[in-house]
Amino acid sequence: MDGHTIFLAIREAQTFVEMIDYMAIENAASTLQFESIKQVALSREKESHINDVVDHILNGKYKNTEELNENALILKLSLDKKYRVVTWQHFQGKVASGKRSFQEHTDYMACTTGLIHAISSIWPKNAYRIFSNRITLIVEDNFTTDQSFKDYVQETLKPIYENHNKGDLVLRVGISDQGQLSDIPKLAKTTVARRATIKHD
């Protein structure tokens, strides 16, 4: 269900199976299926809401500082911290254009989700948005120079790229200047133009 396999275990007993036992098994299977569908729906609804919040910050879709702060709290970000926008175009060609078959899209999302999990384990204080051809992240920056942050990004993403690359990944990354959350819409626009391939072994 939604990429996860769920099993219903039935233990065989040394007794004659009656019709009511089959009915109990059917009911258990139906209940499990219903709960699985419900959990997937709730998970997707939460993910959709988070995506909307990230979009609001990336595009400046908020009325005032108070609303921005509410969005920041949902993403566990802060108005008092400094951030940069990091855009990783991780595929190219047909896959990056969004013109994918169902299987290609499934593989794309599986790979992208794996990358996000790996990044989040190293950058816990970040928010991300998955697009059809890139991952955009809002990352907290505590470094004193642009080069220090750039080196940090390279050191972080290169091993993730190498661990997940099956021949179709690319490591084209754009990094914005440093700013506060209120600066994110302006900063986000610069990352696409700044994308460059990071050298790797």
Buried b (16+ CB within 10 A) or exposed e, 24-42: eeeeeeeeeeeeeeeeeee
pLDDT at residue 184, rounded to an integer: 95
pLDDT at residue 116, rounded to an integer: 93
Q: Residue 156: inside a domain, yes or no?
A: yes
Count CB-CB contacts under 10 A for residue 107: 15
Q: Residue 45: inside a domain, yes or no?
A: no
Question: DSSP characters for 180-200?
Answer: -GGGHHHHHHHHHHT-EEPP-
Question: Which residues of the chain, if any, have pLDDT below 50?
Answer: none
Q: What is the Cα–Cα distance from 33 to 141, expressed in whole angstroms?
A: 44
pLDDT at residue 94, rounded to an integer: 62
Computed over its alpha carbons, how large is the radius of gyration of the chain?
22
pLDDT at residue 30, rounded to an integer: 85
pLDDT at residue 188, rounded to an integer: 92
**pTM score over 0.95:** no
Q: What is the Cα–Cα distance from 1 to 161, expressed in whole angstroms?
A: 27
Q: Residue 187: inside a domain, yes or no?
A: yes
pLDDT at residue 97, rounded to an integer: 62
Q: Residue 28: inside a domain, yes or no?
A: no
Q: Residue 160: inside a domain, yes or no?
A: yes
Q: Residue 54: inside a domain, yes or no?
A: no
Q: Residue 69: inside a domain, yes or no?
A: no
Q: What is the CATH number of the domain that holds 131?
A: 3.30.70.270
Q: Containing domain of residue 145, as a range?
A: 78-197
| CA end-to-end distance (rounded Å), the chain | 37
Task: Please count the structural domains in the chain.
Answer: 1
Q: Residue 30: inside a domain, yes or no?
A: no
CA angle, residues 43, 45, 48, in degrees to nearest 5: 110
